Structure 1
Amino acid sequence: MPSRMYGEGPAVAFELFDLAGKRALVTGSSQGIGFAIARGLAEHGASVVLNGRERNKLEAAAASLTAAGHKVAVAGFDVTAAEDVCEGIATIERTVGAIDILVNNAGMQFRAPLEDFPVEKWEQLLRTNVSSAFYVGQAVARHMIPRGKGKIINIASVQSELARPGIAPYTATKGAIKNLTRGMCADWAKHGLQINAIAPGYFKTPLNQALVDDPTFSAWLEKRTPASRWGNVDELIGAAVFLSGDASSFVNGHTLYVDGGITTCL
């Protein structure tokens, strides 16, 4: 059930997207999509906890949000190590405060023909893109369940639905995220949690910089995508705010594609 009933008018409507008093942990948030989402949640009132692998980038990201007047904390634990995750989440809950919103954004990409794909990169992709979402999601849910509420957003991809040469293992991991989201919903919705996914299309990020800089690929993408362009990371903020707030109180197990329409043209 929604946490409160609503009347009419713009002020009341805004409450559906108001994150004041909420705390959000965003993994992989020192740059790119994760940082944009963390900033967007902060701009809508949430205090944010940033997580990432590179401490210098993490501190710089936190400093920029702090300078903008937002409430920020940093948690630099390794999301691919189950024990580190449990300790890191427990520390946040104990010293920073309860996690109301989790965004599982940590991820990586590696491109190679499938027949030549290195086994160690396959295993790294699984740890970074899938295991991290399981480890962090489980650790956070164990705190959310007794409270009877919580929001978990997993970052999927258009590759949850599509395939392209050279990235079959990445495609496999993002397909897994889509179904992990469904599974989390099946187990945890009864406890008052909403678990959904955002599936970005092709966005200008450090992860995609090589493709952004490739004129042949960019021309193909513009022709392939109904919106005829790359996405900008700020265009993911609205989806993240919607899935983090009361506006999505009865949305569960859903994957929201933010892709300029590319998945409409299978």
Structure 2
Amino acid sequence: MPTDFLSGTKALITGGSSGLGFAMAQALADAGAAVLITGRSSATLNDALARLGHPADRVQALTMDVRDENSIAEALQWVQANWGGLDLLVNNAGIGMRTVNPEFMTAPQPFYKVSAAGFRDLIDTNLTGYFLVAKAFAPLLVAQGHGKIVNISMNHETMKRQGFIPYGPSRAGAESLSLIMAEDLREHNINVNMLLPGGATETGMIPEEQRAALPSHFSLLSPSIMARPIVFLASEASNGITGQRIVATEFDAWLTQQQA
């Protein structure tokens, strides 16, 4: 793919300093897009910038907490002041099951043992965070008459897997949110789609000690599995596609079906 394929495209990725967010930022920047990665840690963001290896006019970073409306408003102001508009918003920032049960992969605990504080913290980040960020940026997209939102999700199996409260409900809620957002924004020429890897990925959400205890046949996907789908969704080739749930491991088959 040419390095200027997405030239002129401006994309913001929440949780862009590691894991899936970093992989998508790399893919978009490599394809020519201007990318803004956000996260809560300035140190982690600076490290990500160095690893991405693109000049400042291609990739930039900004601290933002998706749970904090004032922090999100500052990011919106940055986009308006520096870019004047936004083509792609990727809601990716999230925290995993390890925050409520570090042994969730090998010793799942029932929902009634999850602390209320742990439940609220994860939902505030993974679901309410998607809503708050989209709510802040949607008026900008509506005013400019175009735009795309991609909400990162996960396998349906994980939404009903034993011991996956509150992570499962957070992503199930995000899918409902995405479908309703797609309908609310359809008349404004704004596409809203969901994207998920298609399996567990090397994102750091599984603690190292838990990974060692997993069955030998259990393999993790590379975050780079998200590269081709996110570049497609950022491109003009995806214009008009909305309300879709795209599984990265099945992307080729999905794309063939779309083009049939």
Which band: TM-score by shorter chain?
Answer: 0.7 to 0.9
CA–CA distance in structure 1, aligned partners of residues 249 and 213 of structure 2: 20
- Which of the numbers 104, 123, 131 marks the counterpart of 2:91? 104
Change (3 A) 1:114 1:65: same
Unpaired segments ≥5 residues, structure 2? 102-108, 252-260
Tell me, yes or no, if structure 1 residue 84 matches structure 2 residue 79: no
What is the deviation of 1:127? Answer: 0.8
CA–CA distance in structure 1, aligned partners of residues 87 and 195 of structure 2: 18
Change (3 A) 1:142 1:232: same
Unpaired segments ≥5 residues, structure 1? 1-13, 222-228, 262-266
Which residue identity is paired with 2:6? L
Deviations 1:118-163 (A, max 9, x none): 1101001111101111111111111011111101100011147642
| Matched position secondary structure for 2:32 | coil
Q: Is the 8 A contact 2:9 2:234 kept in 1?
A: no
TM-score (norm 1): 0.82
| Matching residue of 2:257 | none
Deviations 1:84-106 (A, max 9, x none): 21232122211344221111000
| Matching residue of 2:230 | 240
CA–CA distance in structure 1, aligned partners of residues 216 and 119 of structure 2: 26
Tell me, yes or no, if structure 1 residue 28 matches structure 2 residue 15: yes
| Matching residue of 2:179 | 182
Q: Is the 8 A contact 1:160 1:174 kept in 2?
A: no
CA–CA distance in structure 2, aligned partners of residues 215 and 208 of structure 1: 11
| Matched position secondary structure for 2:148 | strand
Deviations 1:7-63 (A, max 9, x none): xxxxxxx79x93110111000011111001001011111011010111101011112
Q: How does 1:86-165 map to 2 (within 5 A)?
A: 86-110=73-97, 111=101, 112-159=109-156, 162-165=159-162
Q: How many pairs are equivalent?
A: 239
CA–CA distance in structure 2, aligned partners of residues 34 and 171 of structure 1: 19
Change (3 A) 1:260 1:185: closer
Tell me, yes or no, if structure 1 residue 202 matches structure 2 residue 200: yes
Change (3 A) 1:203 1:211: farther
Tell me, yes or no, if structure 1 residue 50 matches structure 2 residue 37: yes
CA–CA distance in structure 2, aligned partners of residues 260 and 146 of structure 1: 34
What is the deviation of 1:109? Answer: 1.0
| Matching residue of 1:39 | 26
What is the deviation of 1:213? Answer: 2.0
RMSD: 2.3
Q: Is the 8 A contact 2:178 2:194 kept in 1?
A: yes
Which residue identity is paired with 2:202? K
TM-score (norm 2): 0.84
What is the deviation of 1:218? Answer: 5.0
CA–CA distance in structure 2, aligned partners of residues 153 and 67 of structure 1: 23
Percent identity (aligned): 28
| Matched position secondary structure for 1:168 | coil
Which residue identity is paired with 2:21? G
